[in-house]
């Protein structure tokens, strides 16, 4: 029997996964042509066709392929599968949750990054990519006016906030948590955040060992901002009870309504009570770049750490989040280990595996860096400003309609609800909530527009979040008529059902 090394096929390997240059060129050109056509006609597509899982499963291959297929044909097939069966967040009338239209140059950046496939865990594995990541982090800090000592690119807002949480845990728990774990004063640590905080905080408290009971949910005021006097009272009460406050999280653009908490007041409370100050700016952080919003963001620069999300308001394709920290050591203190099998000790080299949760890491910074170079700070400021103006215009347009209640507008988020005028005293919050929930379902599956929802003071609201450089005034002007056209028959039906039931 021949040994494997004498086998001719191993000297002249033709791996089935390889594509020669002409095949790669053909498949790539074809795909770029498809994407270019798609981008130039995206507004003619429905935002979504709202497919069911079962209908999609029927379009997929029936079993695991045993033999291969032509990659050019596969790329063609999968392009159609995706373009025709996806929710298009690049559509001008996509305003759901907080996902942006992706910057076209960012799409090309992802292809380029995959072609080189730098492993951004260590400088030697990704020399140029690491330096670009470092510069991206520095530029992001400069853009928003945050004096960052360091930072790291991560998968998105959840991870960016986790990194801040873990840096705080390491810095403020006053024993060797790495060696001893959480035991020494288990159950005593407290963190403070507004009731409007995104669910990342629940995951962090759970996954990182403090438990959900460690979270003190601070109420909001009538402007949806954290009530800072209640924050301080809660901290003082906890201290009196022998508990240990260590972290306060402020929002720079809350997930539901886009509110910015009173950051400088929170910073003062943190200083007084020796708490780490983390800001969740995953959505709104980039708006700090706008000179006219400086006052609202006052205190931003005092945070120990801040989460920002280029895949939200910097229009980067998913995934791109970022944590910035005042003191770069706070990341290495929390995350650095030096295994014997790594030879990564160059004095001036930055090794990102020591600064976050991941070991091997992709080159997420490239798409952000390229977009920053393409449009500059001025371009970003202009796009964010326009998104905010559109959200304001929407609030005003909706407010002029008697059957629509415009409820809030902060940054580029506007909330409202359909509220028929023929309602009598018996039509209560529960009725309106059901009406608006049904309306939202209809809007989200209709393909014309895609809002999402918020719940404020128990009221179910429709919510439009514009982080979309393709949205124009004519898009948002369509919304009131669509709401009435879809809302009225739902209301009629619900009234009929009520009559039958009574």
Ligand X SMILES: Cc1ncc(COP(=O)(O)O)c(C=O)c1O
Alpha helical stretches, state H, 145-190: 157-172, 177-180
DSSP SS3 for 20: coil
CA distance 45 to 57: 22
Nearer to ligand X (CB atom), residue 129 or residue 204: 204
CA distance 222 to 408: 11
Nearer to ligand X (CB atom), residue 308 or residue 490: 308
Q: Is 475 in the site for ligand X (CB under 6 A)?
A: no
| Residues near 500 by beta carbon (within 8 Å), at least 6 away in sequence | none
Nearer to ligand X (CB atom), residue 24 or residue 97: 97
CA distance 284 to 294: 13
* CA proximity to 91, closest of 421, 350, 471, 397: 471
Instruction: Determine if the peptide bond prior to 487 is cis (ω within 30°).
Output: no
Q: Is 309 in the site for ligand X (CB under 6 A)?
A: yes
CB of 157 to ligand X, least distance (A): 2
Q: Which stretch binds ligand X (CB under 6 A): 110-118, 180-188, 276-284, 396-404?
A: 276-284
The pairing of beta strand 452-456 with beta strand 459-465: antiparallel
Q: Which of 317, 321, 362, 487 binds ligand X (CB under 6 A)?
A: 321
Q: What is the secondary structure of 329-395 as a DSSP string?
A: HHHHHHH----TT-----TT---GGGSSS-SS---THHHHHHHHHHHHHHHHHHHHHHHHHHHHHHH
Exposed (0-12), middle (13-18) or buried (19+): which is 70, by Cβ within 10 Å?
exposed
CB of 135 to ligand X, least distance (A): 22
Nearer to ligand X (CB atom), residue 304 or residue 309: 309
Q: How many residues bind ligand X (CB under 6 A)?
A: 15
CB of 351 to ligand X, least distance (A): 24
Q: Show contacts with ligand X in window 278-297 (CB under 6 A).
A: 280, 282-283
Q: Which of 90, 92, 106, 157 binds ligand X (CB under 6 A)?
A: 157
| Residues near 399 by beta carbon (within 8 Å), at least 6 away in sequence | 406
Q: Which of 151, 156, 262, 299 binds ligand X (CB under 6 A)?
A: 156
- Comparing every residue's Cβ against ligand X, the nearest one is 157
Retrieve residue 383's tokens: 């796009």
Exposed (0-12), middle (13-18) or buried (19+): which is 176, by Cβ within 10 Å?
exposed
CB of 160 to ligand X, least distance (A): 8
The side-by-side arrangement of strands in the sheet containing 244-251 is 150-154, 321-325, 305-308, 276-281, 244-251, 189-194, 215-218
Q: Show contacts with ligand X in window 375-404 (CB under 6 A).
A: none
Nearer to ligand X (CB atom), residue 232 or residue 261: 261
Nearer to ligand X (CB atom), residue 311 or residue 419: 311
Q: Which of 72, 100, 136, 158 binds ligand X (CB under 6 A)?
A: 158
DSSP SS3 for 137: helix
Nearer to ligand X (CB atom), residue 118 or residue 158: 158
Q: Which stretch binds ligand X (CB under 6 A): 7-15, 210-218, 275-283, 329-337?
A: 275-283
Q: Which of 88, 98, 231, 404 binds ligand X (CB under 6 A)?
A: 98
Q: How far is CA 129 from the centre of its chain?
A: 23
Q: Is 305 in the site for ligand X (CB under 6 A)?
A: no
Nearer to ligand X (CB atom), residue 366 or residue 454: 454
Nearer to ligand X (CB atom), residue 289 or residue 435: 289
CB of 355 to ligand X, least distance (A): 18
Q: Show contacts with ligand X in window 249-268 (CB under 6 A).
A: 253, 255
Nearer to ligand X (CB atom), residue 368 or residue 490: 368
* CA proximity to 280, closest of 325, 319, 249: 249
Name the residues that contact ligand X, by CB under 6 A: 97-98, 156-158, 161, 198, 200, 253, 255, 280, 282-283, 309, 321
């Amino acid at each position: 029997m021949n040994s494997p090394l004498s086998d001719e096929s191993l000297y002249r390997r033709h791996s089935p996964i390889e594509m020669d240059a002409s095949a790669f060129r053909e498949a790539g050109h074809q795909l770029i042509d498809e994407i270019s056509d798609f981008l130039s006609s995206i507004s003619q597509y429905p935002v979504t066709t709202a497919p069911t899982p079962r209908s999609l499963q029927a379009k997929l291959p029936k079993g695991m392929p045993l033999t291969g297929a032509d990659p050019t044909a596969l790329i063609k097939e999968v392009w159609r599968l995706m373009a025709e069966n996806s929710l298009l967040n690049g559509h001008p009338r996509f305003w759901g949750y907080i996902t942006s239209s992706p910057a076209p140059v960012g799409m090309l950046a992802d292809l380029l990054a995959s072609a080189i496939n730098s492993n951004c865990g260590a400088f030697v594995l990704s020399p140029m990519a690491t330096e670009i990541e470092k510069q991206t982090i520095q530029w992001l800090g400069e853009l928003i006016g945050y004096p960052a000592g360091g930072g790291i690119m991560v998968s998105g807002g959840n991870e960016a906030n986790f990194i801040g949480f873990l840096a705080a845990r390491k810095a403020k728990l006053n024993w060797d948590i790495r060696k001893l774990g959480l035991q020494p004063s288990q159950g005593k640590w407290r963190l403070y955040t507004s009731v409007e905080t995104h669910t990342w905080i629940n995951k962090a408290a759970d996954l990182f060992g403090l438990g959900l009971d460690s979270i003190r949910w601070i109420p909001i005021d009538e402007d949806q901002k954290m009530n800072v006097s209640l924050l301080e009272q809660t901290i003082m009460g906890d201290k009196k009870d022998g508990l240990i406050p260590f972290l306060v999280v402020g929002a720079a653009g809350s997930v539901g309504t886009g509110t910015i908490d009173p950051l400088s007041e929170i910073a003062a409370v943190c200083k007084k009570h020796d708490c780490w100050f983390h800001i969740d700016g995953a959505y709104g952080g980039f708006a700090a770049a706008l000179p006219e919003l400086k006052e609202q963001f006052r205190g931003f620069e005092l945070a120990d750490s801040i989460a920002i999300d280029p895949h939200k308001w910097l229009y980067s394709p998913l995934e791109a989040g970022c944590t910035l920290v005042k003191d770069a050591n706070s990341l290495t203190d929390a995350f650095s280990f030096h295994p014997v099998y790594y030879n990564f000790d160059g004095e001036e080299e930055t090794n990102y595996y020591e600064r976050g949760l991941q070991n091997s890491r992709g080159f997420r910074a490239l798409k952000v860096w390229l977009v920053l170079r393409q449009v500059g700070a001025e371009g970003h400021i202009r796009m964010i400003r326009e998104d905010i103006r559109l959200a304001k215009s929407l609030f005003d347009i909706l407010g002029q309609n008697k059957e629509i209640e415009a409820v809030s507008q902060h940054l580029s988020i506007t909330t409202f609800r359909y509220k028929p005028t023929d309602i009598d005293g018996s039509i209560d919050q529960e009725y309106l909530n059901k009406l608006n929930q049904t309306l939202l379902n209809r809007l989200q599956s209709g393909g014309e527009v895609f809002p999402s929802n918020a719940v404020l003071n128990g009221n179910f609201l429709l919510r439009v979040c514009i982080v979309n450089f393709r949205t124009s005034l004519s898009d948002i002007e369509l919304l009131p008529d669509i709401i009435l056209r879809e809302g009225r028959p739902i209301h009629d039906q619900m009234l009929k059902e009520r009559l039958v039931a009574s």
